[in-house]
């Protein structure tokens, strides 16, 4: 009996797909990998509270950015001098701005976050910025699940030195690369909500055409500042 049972177990073991085969089979059934820009929902609380995909961790000297074609986070460059990102930096999924990129967001929180992760953020303001003659505005937000920062609802509640730190970072790292940049006065949370709302794209179609260029159709953020 034990020999027959052992034989049955061996036959069952041999007939069962191996773990690697099952994983590969499951992956092969997926025609397209999830893309953080257009597959991740912005979140039911938008434009006030939204999902944010982190591209660059707080304290990083490496500038990562989304590769639009693959959806992976790639290394763009290493920043000059000793400048590092003062807070986590990323983008809001399912948004499209004037530069054909998703809406940029700087998220204040206690700890650095691994690039490619996403978190819930609360918009508290907007930083108008002109980068080499083109608009490159940034949403300023706090992590909605960080007890140190989640109580902030407007940028005016931040200490003045925190705002100076943010402004100085964007001014300095661009100037170190011999690029002209102008950072204007911070705007309140209501302006940030409006900017996010106008940038939300109502489509589930992948936003890539020939050459991986964005072809998202929807509302774009053309705020006059």
- Residue pLDDT, tens place only, 12-63: 555 555 666 655 555 555 555 689 998 999 999 999 999 999 999 999 999 9
Q: Which ranges of the chain does DSSP label H, i.e. alpha helix?
A: 2-15, 19-28, 160-175, 189-199
**Residues 120-136: tens digit of each pLDDT:** 999 999 999 998 878 88
**Is 104 a residue whose pLDDT tops 70?**
yes
pLDDT at residue number 168: 93
**Measured torsion, CA atoms of residues 221, 114, 59, 121, in degrees rounded to the nearest 10:** 40
Identify which of 13-17, 98-102, 160-164 has the greatest average pLDDT.
160-164
**Is 187 a residue whose pLDDT tops 60?**
yes
pLDDT at residue number 23: 55
pLDDT at residue number 87: 98
Arithmetic mean of pLDDT over the chain: 83
Active site residues: 85
pLDDT band, residue 95 (cuts 50/70/90): very high
Residue 69: burial class (beta carbons within 10 Å; 0-12, 13-18, 19+):
exposed
Instruction: Give the CATH fold of the 49-204 domain.
Output: Inorganic Pyrophosphatase (3.90.80)
Q: How many CB atoms lie within 10 A of CB 43?
A: 19
pLDDT at residue number 175: 80
HSE-CB at 137 with a 13 A cutoff on CA atoms is 25
């Amino acid at each position: 009996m034990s020999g027959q049972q052992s034989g049955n177990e061996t036959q069952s073991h041999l007939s069962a797909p191996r773990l690697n085969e099952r994983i590969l089979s499951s992956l092969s059934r997926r025609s397209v990998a999830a893309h953080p820009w257009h597959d991740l929902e912005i979140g039911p609380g938008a434009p006030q509270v939204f999902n944010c995909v982190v591209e660059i961790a707080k304290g990083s000297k490496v500038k990562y950015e989304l590769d639009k074609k693959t959806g992976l986070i790639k290394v763009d460059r290493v920043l000059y001098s000793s400048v590092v990102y003062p807070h986590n930096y990323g983008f809001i999924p399912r948004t499209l701005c004037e530069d054909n990129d998703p809406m940029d967001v700087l998220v204040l929180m206690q700890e650095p976050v691994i690039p490619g992760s996403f978190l819930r953020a609360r918009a508290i303001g907007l930083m108008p910025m002109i980068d080499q003659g083109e608009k490159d505005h940034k949403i300023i937000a706090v992590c909605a699940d960080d007890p140190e920062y989640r109580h902030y609802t407007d940028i005016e509640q931040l200490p003045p030195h925190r705002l100076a730190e943010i402004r100085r970072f964007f001014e300095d790292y661009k100037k170190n690369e011999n690029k002209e940049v102008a950072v204007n006065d911070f705007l309140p949370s209501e302006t940030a909500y409006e900017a996010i709302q106008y940038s939300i794209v109502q489509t589930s179609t992948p936003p890539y055409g020939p050459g991986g260029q964005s072809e998202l159709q929807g509302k774009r953020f053309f705020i006059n500042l």
